[in-house]
């Protein structure tokens, strides 16, 4: 549907493209033809942007234009329309509006034509290569040397385009307002495999030999892989990986991919994947994407997971050897509906993607693992929300559900658990106001049907909620009462824009939760009392799962910016030896080490350095570096400076701001 123009070229403050208004065109499909150059550490080739002219033509004396986002260091070398090269006076980089965060748009003057006409613009380009110390380069791509991989013989590259890094990997309308389908041909050395956030329709097939150097470990043969994504997606969901990858099937529509050295371990860890997809369908409606594969990336991947359609990326920190961390897959599966199918219109409404996703995730966990596990997971989420709000400050713009990102603010800076958990809390409130899950469950399916393939804002959600339950009122007296009572009393503007903790939190109580908190109270009370500390024993936590242990540690962590805690150095030393917390999974080590650094326990320093440098998942890396900074700022900065080239560009950027700004 053509967007109605309100005088703006875009509703999105995070884009320089102009998909709206008279004389503008809107991208609807992309055709990629790319080569992966590991020696030059670049992607190069061309993209055909299929675009449609808006319903209003340009003003008199003006040209039709296609305006695309591009990072400042993305090199566009030539542009063609209908096979004819555009002259220099028909396209340019918009240097007048160049922005440190948003990039430098490409403006293309188009031939005359009628409104509604579809045309194809071909852009030849290549991504920027990073320097040896990791500076510069394409912010969407991380290039790994063979030494940084599990196999140690072949190179590896992967992308991460959320939030606004697609423009660094290809010129595009990098705004959720514009959803596109895409096809792609990707060429790479024959020893490597290529995957995308799409269905693989062909390959590997022999391809012409490249004119540039072949990476070490590879022969002269090149192959091509062909992909198709028929469901419209925003550009941040375009994803690419090229590496020595193998797969194992774990379900009727799922494979797990990784390097061969760990693929069997990965397949065991994620064998419940189909249970999550099926549970998601029960809650949200049919799964639209055909396949649901998982790719376990190298440790530098900056997130727990990334919901790329058809191919979810996940961090190897989930490989806990007990399946205790696979709930992250429940979250990423939920994005198949919330985020991928129905997408926030701008990054200011990111809570719609993530808040609803956490709401659905907790239902999936309940349906697959039971009520107790869901309650324990909820407790951990609520704790993380209070930590995020405390980190920013209770009145900070980024603690609002709908932050103000105008003025060129970087959406990466606003990233935290706030949209996830505060958003989930609002969906719980909306469900409670209509009488619970029985009435809210049909609304969710109706929401995904109504907005499937489209974008939403907070106001669109509000209006549909009122419209949907308004239509139920005549036949349901309880809904009628709710509409005139608690729903009528909602201050929607306050819900969307008030900073700080939400006024209404979902209830969270369970016996295991109370047991964990009681043990935390005993540890906090022991302080430096030698006899009290000696009374603790491994039997205290016998039979406890990871999630319950996380509640214990979260209860000991104070809500302060640097991680602090209720233990003394002596308490940390005793807990480490008693419960083995320095040799456990990342979730537990992460929490314990923040306690240790907050208590100034010297025994936690080297393990904290190891955790910070052995992986790049920002959930762990950023808080650990902040805790190290609080312990000794010089140590934290020295460790980061030495290892920054090993992190993904997004992680490196954010940690640098934490340590040096």
Residue-wise pLDDT for 363-388, tens only, equals 999 999 999 999 999 999 999 999 99
598 vs 579: CA distance, rounded Å: 19
Whole-number Å distance between alpha carbons of 86 and 79: 6
Residue 464: left if φ>0, alpha if ψ -120 to 50, beta else—which one? alpha
- Max distance between CA atoms of the chain, in angstroms, equals 87
Output the pLDDT for position 208: 83
What distance in Å separates the CA atoms of residue 621 and residue 617, rounded to the nearest whole number? Answer: 6
Would you identify the CATH topology of the domain 511-660?
Answer: 1.25.40
Non-local (6+) Cβ contacts of 571 within 8 A are 523, 526, 527, 528, 533, 599
User: Could you tell me the CA-to-CA distances from 43 to 93, 180, 484, 544, 649 in Å, in that order?
Assistant: 20, 20, 57, 48, 16
pLDDT digits (tens, 9 = 90+) for 250-308: 999 999 999 999 999 999 999 999 999 999 999 999 999 999 999 999 999 989 999 99
What distance in Å separates the CA atoms of residue 26 and residue 28, rounded to the nearest whole number? 6
Distance of CA 262 to the CA centre of its chain: 23
332 in active site: yes
Please tell me the predicted confidence (pLDDT) of residue 134: 66
pLDDT at 559: 46
Residue 66: phi and psi, rounded to 5, are -110, 120
Note whether 298 and 157 are within 8 A (CB): no
* Higher per-residue confidence, 123 vs 564: 123
Please indicate whether residue 420 is annotated as part of the active site. Answer: yes
| pLDDT class of 491 with cuts at 50, 70, 90 | very high
Spatial distance between the Cα atoms of 427 and 359, rounded to a whole number of angstroms: 7
Q: What pLDDT score was predicted for residue 235? A: 98
Please report which confidence band the pLDDT of residue 54 belongs to, taking 50, 70 and 90 as the band edges.
very high
Instruction: Identify each DSSP E strand in 240-363 by its residue range.
Output: 240-243, 246-251, 254-258, 293-296, 305-306, 311-314, 343-344
DSSP one-letter string for 419-468 = IIIIHHHHHHHHHHHTTSHHHHHHHHHHHHHHHTTSEE-HHHHHHHHHHH
Given a cut of 70, is residue 7 above it in pLDDT?
no
CA distance 327 to 333: 10
Q: What gap in Å lies between CA 210 and CA 458, rounded to an integer?
A: 48
Indicate the helix (H) or strand (E) that contains 28: strand 25-37
Q: Would the pLDDT of 636 be above 50?
A: yes
Mean of all residue pLDDT scores within the chain: 94
Q: Where are the domains of the chain?
A: 1-129+162-238, 337-497, 511-660
Q: Give the confidence band of 131 by pLDDT, cuts at 50, 70, 90.
A: confident
Report which of residues 465 and 514 the model is more confident about: 465
Q: What mean pLDDT do residues 416-422 have? A: 97
Comparing CA positions, the residue from 434, 430, 435 lying closest to residue 352 is 430
Whether pLDDT at 76 is above 60: yes
Report the alpha-carbon distance of residue 627 to residue 636 in Å, rounded: 9
In the block, tokens 């049907």 appear at 449
Helices (runs of H) and strands (runs of E) counted in the chain = 21, 22
Looking at the chain, how many residues does it have? 661
- List the structure tokens of 248: 């194992």
User: Which pLDDT belongs to residue 5?
Assistant: 36
Strands 141-144, 91-93: pairing kind: unpaired
Confidence (pLDDT) at 41: 95
The Cβ-side half-sphere exposure at 536, using a 13 Å CA radius, reads 25
The catalytically annotated residue of 177, 332, 387, 431 is: 332
Query: Does residue 1 carry a pLDDT above 90?
Result: no
Tens digit of each residue's pLDDT (9 = 90 or more) over 189-235: 999 999 999 999 998 999 987 677 889 888 889 999 999 999 999 99
**The dihedral sign for the CA sequence 110, 111, 114, 118:** negative
- What CATH number does the domain located at 337-497 have? 1.10.390.10
Q: Tell which CATH architecture fits domain 1-129+162-238.
A: Sandwich (2.60)
For residue 562, is pLDDT > 70?
A: no
Q: Are 184 and 199 in contact (CB under 8 A)?
A: no
User: Percent of the chain at pLDDT above 70?
Assistant: 97
């Amino acid at each position: 549907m053509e967007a109605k123009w309100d005088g703006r070229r875009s509703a999105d403050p995070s884009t320089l493209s102009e998909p709206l208004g008279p004389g503008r065109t809107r991208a609807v499909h992309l055709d990629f033809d790319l080569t992966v150059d590991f020696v030059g550490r670049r992607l190069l080739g061309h993209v055909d942007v299929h675009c449609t002219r808006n319903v209003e033509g340009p003003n008199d004396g003006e040209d039709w234009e296609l305006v695309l986002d591009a990072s400042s260091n993305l090199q566009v070398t030539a542009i063609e329309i209908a096979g004819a090269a555009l002259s220099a006076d028909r396209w340019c980089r918009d240097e007048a509006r160049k922005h440190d965060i948003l990039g430098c748009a490409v403006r293309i003057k188009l031939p005359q034509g009628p409104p509604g006409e579809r045309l194809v613009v071909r852009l030849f380009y290549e991504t920027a290569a990073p320097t040896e110390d990791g500076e510069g380069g394409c912010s969407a791509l991380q290039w790994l040397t063979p030494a940084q991989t599990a196999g140690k013989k072949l190179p590896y590259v992967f992308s991460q385009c959320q939030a606004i890094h697609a423009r660094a990997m290809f010129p595009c309308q990098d705004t959720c307002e514009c959803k596109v389908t895409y096809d792609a041909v990707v060429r790479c050395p024959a020893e490597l495999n290529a995957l995308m956030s799409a269905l693989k329709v062909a390959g590997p097939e022999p391809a012409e030999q490249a004119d540039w150097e072949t990476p070490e470990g590879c022969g002269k043969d090149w192959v091509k892989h062909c992909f198709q994504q028929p469901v419209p997606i925003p550009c941040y969901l375009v994803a690419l990986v090229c590496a020595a990858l193998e797969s194992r099937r774990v379900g009727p529509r799922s494979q797990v991919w990784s390097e061969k050295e760990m693929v069997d371990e990965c397949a065991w860890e994620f064998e419940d994947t189909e249970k999550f997809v099926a549970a998601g369908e029960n809650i949200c409606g049919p799964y639209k994407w055909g396949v649901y594969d998982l790719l376990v990336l190298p440790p530098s991947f900056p997130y727990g997971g990334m919901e790329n359609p058809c191919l979810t990326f996940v961090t190897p920190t989930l490989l806990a050897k007990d399946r205790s961390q696979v709930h992250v897959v429940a979250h990423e599966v939920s994005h198949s509906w919330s985020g991928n199918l129905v997408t926030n219109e701008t990054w200011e409404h990111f809570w719609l993607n993530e808040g609803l996703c956490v709401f659905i995730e907790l239902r999936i966990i309940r349906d697959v693992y039971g009520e107790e596990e869901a309650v324990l997971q909820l407790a951990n989420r609520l704790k993380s929300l209070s930590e995020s709000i405390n980190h920013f400050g209770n009145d900070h713009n980024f603690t609002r559900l709908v932050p103000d990102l105008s003025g060129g603010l970087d959406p990466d800076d606003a990233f935290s658990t706030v949209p996830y958990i505060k958003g989930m809390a609002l969906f719980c409130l909306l469900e409670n106001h209509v009488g619970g899950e029985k009435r809210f469950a049909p609304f969710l399916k109706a929401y995904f049907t109504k907005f499937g393939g489209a974008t939403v804002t907070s106001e669109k959600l509000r209006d549909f909620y009122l419209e949907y339950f308004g239509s139920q009122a005549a036949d349901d007296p309880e809904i009628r009462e709710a509409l005139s009572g608690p729903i009528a009393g909602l201050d929607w503007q306050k819900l969307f824009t008030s900073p700080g903790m939400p006024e209404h939190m979902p209830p969270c109580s369970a016996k295991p939760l109370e047991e964990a908190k009681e043990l935390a109270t005993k540890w906090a009370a022991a302080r430096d009392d030698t006899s009290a500390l000696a009374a603790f024993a491994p039997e205290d936590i016998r039979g406890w799962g990871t999630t319950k242990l996380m509640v214990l540690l979260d209860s000991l962590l104070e809500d302060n910016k640097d991680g602090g805690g209720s233990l003394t150095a002596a308490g940390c030393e005793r807990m480490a030896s008693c419960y083995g917390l320095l040799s456990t999974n990342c979730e537990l080590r992460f929490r314990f080490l923040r306690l240790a650094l907050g208590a100034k326990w010297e025994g936690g320093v080297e393990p904290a350095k190891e955790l910070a440098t052995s992986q790049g998942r920002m959930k762990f890396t950023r808080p650990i570096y902040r805790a190290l900074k609080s312990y000794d700022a010089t140590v934290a900065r020295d460790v980061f400076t030495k290892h920054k080239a090993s992190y993904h560009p997004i992680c490196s950027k954010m940690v640098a701001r934490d340590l040096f700004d």
